[in-house]
Structure 1
């Protein structure tokens, strides 16, 4: 096999399947994203539910695994100090500067990152009596 052909075969492409609001939930996002190994993959999410729905959650489901929440974002986090739980800020980042929009990035994509990624939004609720 020629080195040129081998180089083409060694170039790996990964797809991050992204689930948007297909049930009339007024939430939309990037439908499918292809990227090369080692590159960042950024997904956008937006909604038309109103500014009171300012909490945005990003999830993933890897093949054969259960769904996991990666991060919760709000526009009030000025330094992007979001709740990543058990997930690494070196691997994932999120940005949310306004209530109706946000982005999520998988940094330096690897084969193990391939899966379904999606966002959801929630209305802030005050639990004070």
Structure 2
């Protein structure tokens, strides 16, 4: 598992890229944590296009006052709010799927039912106070397109960044 610490927004990133644009999608995960709320993720997983996949998020130190938030960042755009939950399951309309929070709230999973090339994105899991959505709200993103802006780095800290992943150069077109 990869772990990072930051003083601001806790986030978990998954970069969804087509290794073979017709058949394969690759997920690359990295994690960011905030003070006592630590978010963890395995470094990678892969699936074929159209085959469902779970993007899991571990948050073992979540507090009762905190909720779980998921965001998606499409290539060349800022993060946009997808879904949030405190417990149980919640449907996600686009991309089609579901957010599931474990009974003990120490983990969550974003299920993408049939990922397509249009779902190529960075997926962030965040833990924060339930009284507000941490940093971003629906329609907002890092660069201000579609709404208000948020800082590119958490205040007073550093963040892990997802590594850029390129399709295998030896793969046939």
Between Structure 1 and Structure 2, the one with more helix by share is: 1
Match of 1:5 in 2: none
Runs of 4+ with deviation above 6 angstroms? none
TM-score by length of 1: 0.70
Structure 2: distance between partners of 1:64 and 1:95? 28
Query: Residue 11 and residue 122 in structure 1: after superposition, are their counterparts in 2 closer, same or farther (change >3 A)?
Result: same
Shift, 1:68, TM fit: 0.8
Match of 1:94 in 2: 99
Query: Residue 44 and residue 101 in structure 1: after superposition, are their counterparts in 2 closer, same or farther (change >3 A)?
Result: same
- For residue 28 of structure 1, give the secondary structure of its aligned residue in structure 2: coil
Unmatched 5+ stretches in structure 1: 1-8
Match of 1:45 in 2: 57
Match of 1:28 in 2: 40
Structure 2: distance between partners of 1:100 and 1:41? 20
TM-score by length of 2: 0.54
Alignment of 1:1-129 (within 5 A): 12-21=23-32, 26-52=38-64, 54-75=66-87, 77=88, 80-81=89-90, 84=92, 88=93, 91-97=96-102, 98-125=104-131
Bigger drift between 25-34 and 14-23 goes to: 14-23
CA contact (8 A) 2:21 2:117 kept: no
Query: Residue 90 and residue 61 in structure 1: after superposition, are their counterparts in 2 closer, same or farther (change >3 A)?
Result: closer
Let me know the Cα RMSD of the aligned residues.
Answer: 2.8
Query: Residue 123 and residue 49 in structure 1: after superposition, are their counterparts in 2 closer, same or farther (change >3 A)?
Result: farther
CA contact (8 A) 2:85 2:101 kept: yes
Structure 2: distance between partners of 1:89 and 1:65? 16
Unmatched 5+ stretches in structure 2: 1-19, 132-173
Between Structure 1 and Structure 2, the one with more strand by share is: 1
- For residue 118 of structure 2, give the secondary structure of its aligned residue in structure 1: helix
